[in-house]
């Protein structure tokens, strides 16, 4: 490797390191400023709490073992709904691509369903599936499935038509075209849809837990609201932020691995 290439690599590493340090400093300064404002009563400590109270609450929940139960419940529901959503989204997107007439027929209905506030369907979901984990999964699927279908389907439509005509000229079957051209060429879009899907799934799970759950981060937040323990609410929100960041990083890692393999 030449010295110029090494210099470029070192420069990129330095830039990444500076960005990471800057991000960490921003987070630290934010919490310090928040703590200062709360201690000096510049902001209402009952409503906004303080970082020290939040960390103490999280630490207490961890010691009693409650924290891990809530995290694992939300994580399980998110992974299950995510897996079902991306699988169904992929299959339905393939059907729409192979059946253009069907795609034109249901396109306006997909748009309407996507724009519909899913919370409005909450009472109906409770009646249909009962007050259990099924309701949470259904709520998450209502939010993530339509987005998955539309993103993956649009990725299929974005494939280079010249490549498509080339394969067709060689009498390739629909299955061969799908396997060797459509899916590989759409892989970047599919991977990008994973990032959107996991975020939407987590939102759906939390909304579902607000409605029916007796365990999970969403339940922790709604319970804190009911008993006017706003420190508990802020603790739940902070845990949710950390969890969503970790899940997103896991999906990003999978994206990098798939991109390298491709």
Check residue 147 and give its pLDDT: 87
Check residue 212 and give its pLDDT: 82
Check residue 128 and give its pLDDT: 83
> Could you tell me if 132 and 35 lie in one domain?
no
Question: What pTM, to 2 d.p., does this model score?
Answer: 0.84
Q: What is the chain's alpha carbon radius of gyration, rounded to the nearest angstrom? A: 23
Is pLDDT of 231 > 60?
yes
Check residue 25 and give its pLDDT: 94
DSSP notation for 10-45: HHHHHHHHHHHHHHHHHHHHHHHHHHHHHHTTSS-H
Counting the structural domains of the chain, the total is: 2
**pLDDT single digits (tens) 136-163:** 898 888 888 888 898 889 888 888 888 8
**pLDDT single digits (tens) 172-197:** 888 888 888 888 888 888 887 888 88
> Could you tell me if 22 and 107 lie in one domain?
no
Range of the structural domain that residue 29 is part of? 1-43
> Could you tell me if 19 and 142 lie in one domain?
no
> Could you tell me if 228 and 130 lie in one domain?
yes
């Amino acid at each position: 490797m030449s010295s110029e290439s090494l210099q470029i690599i070192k420069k990129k590493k330095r830039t990444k390191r500076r960005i990471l340090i800057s991000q960490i400093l921003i987070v630290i300064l934010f919490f310090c400023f928040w703590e200062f404002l709360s201690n000096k009563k510049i902001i209402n400590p009952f409503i906004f709490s303080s970082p020290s109270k939040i960390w103490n609450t999280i630490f207490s929940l961890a010691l009693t073992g409650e924290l891990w139960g809530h995290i694992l419940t939300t994580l399980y529901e998110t992974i299950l709904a995510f897996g079902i959503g991306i699988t169904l989204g992929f299959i339905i997107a393939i059907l729409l691509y192979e059946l253009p007439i069907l795609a034109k027929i249901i396109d306006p209905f997909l748009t309407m369903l996507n724009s519909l506030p899913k919370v409005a369907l909450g009472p109906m979901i409770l009646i249909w599936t009962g007050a259990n984990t099924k309701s949470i999964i259904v709520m998450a699927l209502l939010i993530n499935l339509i987005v998955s279908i539309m993103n993956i389907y649009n990725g299929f439509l974005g494939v280079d038509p010249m490549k498509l005509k080339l394969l067709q000229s060689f009498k390739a079957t629909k299955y061969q075209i799908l396997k060797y051209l459509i899916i590989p060429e759409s892989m970047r879009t599919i991977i990008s849809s994973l990032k959107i899907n996991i975020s939407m799934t987590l939102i759906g799970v939390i909304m579902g837990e607000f409605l029916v759950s007796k365990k999970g981060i969403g339940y922790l937040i709604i319970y804190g609201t009911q008993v006017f323990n706003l420190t508990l609410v802020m603790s739940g929100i902070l845990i949710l932020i950390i969890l969503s960041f970790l899940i997103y990083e896991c999906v990003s890692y999978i994206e990098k691995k798939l991109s390298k393999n491709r």
